Amino acid sequence: MKGKYLLGGLLTALAGAAIALFAYTSIIEKPAAVITKDSSKIEMPEAKAVLTSYQMQEGQVDFTYAAEQTIHAVVHVRIKTMVSQPDNPLLEWFYGDRYSNKPREVAGYGSGVIISPDGYIITNNHVIEDADNIEVILNDNRKFTAEVIGRDPSTDIALIKIKADNLAYIRYGDSEKLKVGEWVLAVGNPFNLTSTVTAGIVSAKGRNLGIIDSDMPLESYIQTDAALNMGNSGGALVDTKGLLVGITSAIYSPSGAYAGNSFAVPVSIVKKVVDDIRQYGEVQRAIIGVSITNVTSEDAEKQKLDEVKGALITKVIDGGAAADAKLKENDVIIKLDGVPVNSVTELQEQVGKHRPGDKASLTYIRNGKEYTVPITLKNVAGNTSVVTPGMGIGNVFGARFESLGSNDKSSYNVDGGVKIIELNDGLFKDMGLKKGTIIVSINGKKVNNADDIRQATNNNERSLKSIEGITSDGRIFNYKFGN
């Protein structure tokens, strides 16, 4: 198993470019960054002091109101994690305990957004997923220890809370009303600095970057050109009224620093996730019960579409909501509840606003004709019940899993796998597996999320032939069953 150590929240994107998820993490011993002055000798005209009184020209956009409404509601999030180091007997022999496998403290930081006066704070899941301790620093320098209320790896959103009252907070806006070209502000704590405001425009909506490694990832990012850097993750994207329209999460960059494009989770998704966590303790994710892909020009011609848009159904899951509504393979979904969906990403965003049991209208095209049918959305188990903790999409054969974070991968010297975070009656409990067990492969196939386990076993306990992993106390195991 090949070791892989990811420092902080930098993720790799398409074509060799890096997607930087800015929960910047550094070993404590690493020197602080040094800011240097430009020592070039290029001659420049002498700068002149200019008064900066408020004299807005007609048609100019004033960002001061939005900034004043938000900077005190954006916090600095610091995490500490203890990471075990791989054994190196040779170095330990020569240099002693400095090179032993004793856990080392790793620190990281990001941003968060206060959404209520009693201390509920939204941040990114990747900011706090491996944290042993979370400290929140307000803009007035007050410090609090935070507790994790809930996390959703599928959207990269987490909810934490501090014990405080009468806090400044940001109200929700409406990300669906955002238009390309509209001004937005990003507020966060890049490079360990206090609240920093940058401005940009909405460059695009509904971007899918393929950077979330979890069950049923939901990516529909707002793309902007507001400058973001390490430490901005979990910060606020607000409109010119100071209303929250997104949670800043990523940049598209070959170097890991800002290169002109940044991305935020739209508040339409964020609010749903946060409300679910607060009300149920688990995200209530509705599904249609189909496999889908974006429509190509060949698909459009074959399905007699006027435009190349929509989500093409490639498979209908038996017993799912789509099957109940009589949808078929090669149908093209173009609307949900009357909202046009031009791509898979846009459809996922609209479905992501719903809970199991919700009724919706779905519009699709079959053989060139448009139909609209009612549909009752279901959960991953194929029913409309509320999903309680332990029953979520990460639950398989009685065990609930989460994908390994970068620190776990380094600690266990693996490049992937899942960890059992909850164990109920079922196959894995009967096998004697414990909470904290790492599973890296099943039936010879590598697994990185619960859905990989389902696919490797065809979601059938009798199909389990082998399982490889690491016990909670660090022992490697490889079990084989049958012939």
Give strand pairing partners of 310.
Answer: none
Spacing of C-alpha 350 from chain mean position:
17
Distance (Å, whole) CA 452 – CA 466:
14
Distance (Å, whole) CA 287 – CA 265:
19
Spacing of C-alpha 408 from chain mean position:
18
- Can you give the length of the chain in residues? 483
User: Does residue 170 contact residue 115 with C-beta atoms inside 8 Å?
Assistant: yes
Which run of H or of E encompasses 470? strand 466-470
Q: Choosing from 156, 408, 451, 452, which is the catalytic residue?
A: 156
Q: Which of 290, 291, 295 is nearest to 305 (CA)?
A: 295
Provide the phi-psi class of 384: left if phi over 0, else alpha when psi is between -120 and 50, else beta: alpha
Distance (Å, whole) CA 156 – CA 161:
17
Verify whether residue 233 is a known catalytic residue. yes
Q: Choosing from 175, 195, 214, 233, which is the catalytic residue?
A: 233
Q: Choosing from 126, 152, 175, 203, which is the catalytic residue?
A: 126
Distance (Å, whole) CA 188 – CA 153:
21
Verify whether residue 126 is a known catalytic residue. yes
Q: Residue holding tokens 């199909």?
A: 463
The H-assigned helical ranges of 238-320 are: 267-280, 297-302
Distance (Å, whole) CA 265 – CA 206:
10
Q: Which pair of tokens denotes residue 25? A: 């993490």
Q: Can you say whether the dihedral through the CA atoms of 157, 388, 160, 7 is positive or negative?
A: negative
Q: Residue holding tokens 């990001």?
A: 110
Verify whether residue 324 is a known catalytic residue. no
Q: Which pair of tokens denotes residue 211? A: 């950077």
Q: Which residues of 80-96 are buried (b: 16+ CB within 10 A; e: fewer)?
A: ebebbeeeeeeeeeeee
* Residues classed as catalytic: 126, 156, 233
